[in-house]
Structure 1
């Protein structure tokens, strides 16, 4: 076992009134029974009876396992897991412990315990009789809690049992018993249901493609109508969705769209009810209204109505920012200031510029990824829900899904979005303080002109021929603090500069369509090319993506190109960081020449310094 305790023999367990203890649980669930076993352990240890307490500790470890039926690889896992340890897990049970558990299957008369014992043995020994016993007992256990009005405690038992029954064969009576129970229970819920049990049962039938689709759709709609009337719009919409899915599965598109419109109507009513409510207001209302509009579009709703709702959405979104509260905290940047000033002070202009761009690291995506994953692990509540990115006018511009998902693709999207979010809110914001101090110190010590700074652009392989003066004026404007000029000169130039260095390296940057028209690849596609990372380095590619095109980063290119950036926004940390990165990329060939450095073997060219 995980705590080193040996498992008791079967006769040691039978010597205790352990089933009476289990039956004393208020609700016959594993968690409630585990609590009773834990209380018995404390009682026996206080009395000095270590032998008997070991029995209940063992039974407590068995019942502490957490059932997760949707995880096909690990349906039973440790009840709690932390950074330093965990509770008992299935793999902890020794052969001797497994023998004891298998014997308990035939001893206990409690369905939920028999299901747990049999499921453990099925997972460890792949004994199909144990799988059948587990499935049979899971159904009996769920019926018991459902009859007592506590179905929500053990609906996972129903799902796990049905999965085992399906594995044993969909034509066998055991699986048919599950289907029959679900259909019978749903028939009773059609006229009385007021919670999510029906949704769970309907989802299960849909997952296994069993039952009568028109009947299931009718029941779902009836439940949705009742809940909508009762004011439970959220659950009503769930039922309308389920009903629509069954209609689509039955190739009944008209009824599927009808339920889609019904869901949209519910969302609109829900959106309108948010206005004026504390903690909801236009922010929540805009979310529901946006979902309603998309629902109408997908359900063939009237275009005039969709257009009218979209206009209302724009009006509401414009009012959302006034409802938001801001939060801030102070950071001591005295060390950053000191390091920046000392790094560039007293140097010749080229050396001071090189010191500025090399005196602070660019972000290492691998390190940032580890940091984000650790934060998701240590602060799961902060990443439990998806996050929307909003523009200043209230428009939703991007969505980051929850990081706490078992879907690898969705989780990767969440991790990457959070990486750019962390970079823009923490790393680049702190680096901006460093950059600005360096910039001001260099401007104070040197008389900066186009001529003095031309060393950065002349014969520079990063700059396309004929673009030198554009880069030079953008860089000089930054040193002078004219970041409105910097933004408008430098941001549009990055795409062509990357295209230029790729072409110079012999790579094709255009694509040929079916009409033989060659279109140049845009910035997002260029930054996704492995050749770009090979030339600039993965670190710089990450920086450019976050600064220029990622919604959870700064998205400078889109904001500038479409006129979303205000005059005041040109003086933000985003433009300052972009200015610094451009100078850094312009400086690398010169730094390597001055120092006689060359990239180490296997090292990306621009990451060498």
Structure 2
């Protein structure tokens, strides 16, 4: 009897899924179908079908799910094409460009390097959240947010907030807006600053090595990666620099977490230790103690959060396009590593043995 009741319940769930599928078909058959809406409805259908336990699934459901998944990918790709560009008045970045050049030009090579590595002030995490909170109070930031990959896959979604203190929504909005700021800063400050630096100076790998080996940020045995990666950026080869430098950011975090006595591994139920993911490392309280909440926000927003560039994951999983591999985000990755090398965010003079020796 109980099994019959459960079977009846799951039949209702299947009917709900079928109704979503029918809605998607009706939208597709309309005179002006919205593929964004179709993708949303198909996703709802798939979610309902997947709720059904295997013992209550019809024999044809697996094939049906596979077909719906393919339809969702197709609709997602068409949804990206369907999106329109919202244009505003051109942004005058001449003041930013001039300021970036002034921080670098006419200085000694090391002073220019410091100027280049400080072109972008690390944003205050709480101020970013506060700005998003104010927009919500004013009713300007109350809409749901979705993120599509360039191939049409839906990679992140945040429902419209129910409260002005919806932490997930505020964080997603702050990360998304920070991603837009990255592009502006790269084009308006980092690139003009680097152009000025390379026009006035020629920095060699030998000179970079002297900086890297004396930086408290760099783990022992990782110097060559940072030297080669930074040198590639000074040669405008950001595809090479990002592939050399981004993986080393994980090594950088593990070294300093372990130096403070932290554990960077995850223990499985079988007793097997595996290295924690970059996202897990950034979520540790000890990481915030070491880097501060603002730098943790920048690293998470830029490297691993799907509402931002998600640069580390896109690169590591082979999802990055040729143009993106040497584009704006690759430039920012290079600059971020330069910032971490030239201006370590903990006190100067720390031993190369690790941060724990400074206490």
Q: Which residue of 2 aligns with 1:488?
A: 243
Local SS of the residue matching 1:565: coil
74, 88, 93: which one aligns with 1:315: 74
- Is residue 586 from structure 1 mapped to residue 349 from structure 2 by the alignment? no
Q: Which residue of 2 aligns with 1:500?
A: 255
Normalised TM-score (structure 2): 0.88
Q: Which residue of 1 aligns with 2:155?
A: 397
CA distance in 1 between counterparts of 2:160 and 2:290 reads 34
Deviation at 1:449, TM superposition (A): 2.2
Q: Is the 8 A contact 2:225 2:245 kept in 1?
A: yes
- Pairs within 5 Å for 1:29-108: none
CA distance in 1 between counterparts of 2:192 and 2:325 reads 18
Q: Which residue of 2 aligns with 1:543?
A: 298
Local SS of the residue matching 2:193: helix
- Pairs within 5 Å for 1:165-204: none
Local SS of the residue matching 2:343: helix
CA distance in 1 between counterparts of 2:223 and 2:17 reads 55
CA distance in 1 between counterparts of 2:231 and 2:30 reads 51
* Runs (4+) off by over 6 Å: none
Deviation at 1:466, TM superposition (A): 2.3
Deviation at 1:390, TM superposition (A): 0.6
337, 341, 365: which one aligns with 2:125: 365
Q: Which residue of 2 aligns with 1:338?
A: 98
Q: Which residue of 2 aligns with 1:324?
A: 83
CA distance in 2 between counterparts of 1:281 and 1:527 reads 38
CA distance in 2 between counterparts of 1:318 and 1:360 reads 35
Local SS of the residue matching 1:462: coil
Deviation at 1:277, TM superposition (A): 4.2
- Pairs within 5 Å for 1:220-259: 252-259=5-12
Local SS of the residue matching 1:553: coil
CA distance in 2 between counterparts of 1:258 and 1:472 reads 61
**Is the alpha carbon distance of 1:361 and 1:589 closer, same or farther for their aligned partners in structure 2, counting shifts above 3 Å?**
closer
CA distance in 1 between counterparts of 2:249 and 2:15 reads 48
CA distance in 2 between counterparts of 1:252 and 1:591 reads 62
Deviation at 1:263, TM superposition (A): 1.1
Q: Which residue of 2 aligns with 1:351?
A: 111
- Deviations along 1:140-169, one digit per CA (max 9) or x if unpaired, are xxxxxxxxxxxxxxxxxxxxxxxxxxxxxx
Deviation at 1:339, TM superposition (A): 0.6
Deviation at 1:530, TM superposition (A): 1.5
- Is residue 266 from structure 1 mapped to residue 19 from structure 2 by the alignment? yes
412, 421, 424: which one aligns with 2:176: 421
Local SS of the residue matching 2:213: coil
- Is residue 431 from structure 1 mapped to residue 217 from structure 2 by the alignment? no
Over the aligned positions, Cα root-mean-square deviation in angstroms equals 2.4
**Is the alpha carbon distance of 1:592 and 1:464 closer, same or farther for their aligned partners in structure 2, counting shifts above 3 Å?**
closer
Deviation at 1:575, TM superposition (A): 2.1
- Deviations along 1:178-234, one digit per CA (max 9) or x if unpaired, are xxxxxxxxxxxxxxxxxxxxxxxxxxxxxxxxxxxxxxxxxxxxxxxxxxxxxxxxx
Q: Is the 8 A contact 2:136 2:164 kept in 1?
A: no
Q: Is the 8 A contact 1:267 1:289 kept in 2?
A: yes
Q: Is the 8 A contact 1:462 1:500 kept in 2?
A: no
Q: Which runs of 5+ in 1 are unaligned?
A: 1-247, 598-604
Q: Which runs of 5+ in 2 are unaligned?
A: none
- Deviations along 1:535-573, one digit per CA (max 9) or x if unpaired, are 112111110001100111110111001111101012333
Q: Is the 8 A contact 2:137 2:164 kept in 1?
A: no
508, 521, 537: which one aligns with 2:276: 521
Q: Which residue of 2 aligns with 1:297?
A: 50
CA distance in 1 between counterparts of 2:259 and 2:25 reads 57
Relative contact order: is structure 1 or structure 2 higher (C-alpha 8 Å, sep ≥ 6)?
2
CA distance in 2 between counterparts of 1:384 and 1:367 reads 19
Local SS of the residue matching 2:81: helix
Q: Is the 8 A contact 1:461 1:501 kept in 2?
A: no
228, 233, 241: which one aligns with 1:473: 228
Q: Which residue of 2 aligns with 1:208?
A: none
Q: Which residue of 2 aligns with 1:50?
A: none
Q: Is the 8 A contact 2:119 2:190 kept in 1?
A: no
- Deviations along 1:348-393, one digit per CA (max 9) or x if unpaired, are 2221111122243111001111111111122x2x433322111111
Local SS of the residue matching 2:175: helix
**Is the alpha carbon distance of 1:287 and 1:460 closer, same or farther for their aligned partners in structure 2, counting shifts above 3 Å?**
same
Deviation at 1:271, TM superposition (A): 0.8
Aligned residue pairs, count: 342
Local SS of the residue matching 1:519: strand
Deviation at 1:278, TM superposition (A): 6.3
Local SS of the residue matching 1:492: helix
Q: Which residue of 1 aligns with 2:144?
A: 386
- Pairs within 5 Å for 1:111-190: none
